[in-house]
């Protein structure tokens, strides 16, 4: 079953991918799980040095995302007087 987690993608050199695969396997993790571990470790290290990162509530973030989708849909359906049509 595919993950419902958000995706982070990056571009890197082929040698880095090959080496990362080896390091991930050494730690008995998939490359995805090991990357998540590294991200979480990086956040923890940052917060230990600079303090907790305060985020907006999840509910507020979801409401903002939904409002952006509705706004975009309205612009697409009704047009945007400030947009430039190239065609």
Q: Which residue has the higher pLDDT, 36 or 1?
A: 36
The secondary structure of the chain, three-state, reads: CCCCCCCCCCCCCHHHHHHHHHHHHHCCCCHHHHHHHHHHHHHHHHHHHHCCCCCCCHHHHHHHHHHHHHHHHHHHHHCCCCCCCCC
pLDDT digits (tens, 9 = 90+) for 38-80: 999 999 999 999 999 988 776 566 677 777 777 777 777 776 5
Q: Which residue has the higher pLDDT, 37 or 54?
A: 37
Q: What is the pTM of this model?
A: 0.61
pLDDT digits (tens, 9 = 90+) for 20-34: 999 999 999 999 999
């Amino acid at each position: 079953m595919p993950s419902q987690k958000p995706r982070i993608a990056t571009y890197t050199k082929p040698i880095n991918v090959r080496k990362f695969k080896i390091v991930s396997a050494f730690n008995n993790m998939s490359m995805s799980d090991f990357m998540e571990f590294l991200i979480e470790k990086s956040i923890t290290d940052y917060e230990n040095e600079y303090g907790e990162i305060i985020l907006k509530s999840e509910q507020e973030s979801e409401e903002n995302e939904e409002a952006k989708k509705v706004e975009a849909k309205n612009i697409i359906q009704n047009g945007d007087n400030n947009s430039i049509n190239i065609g």
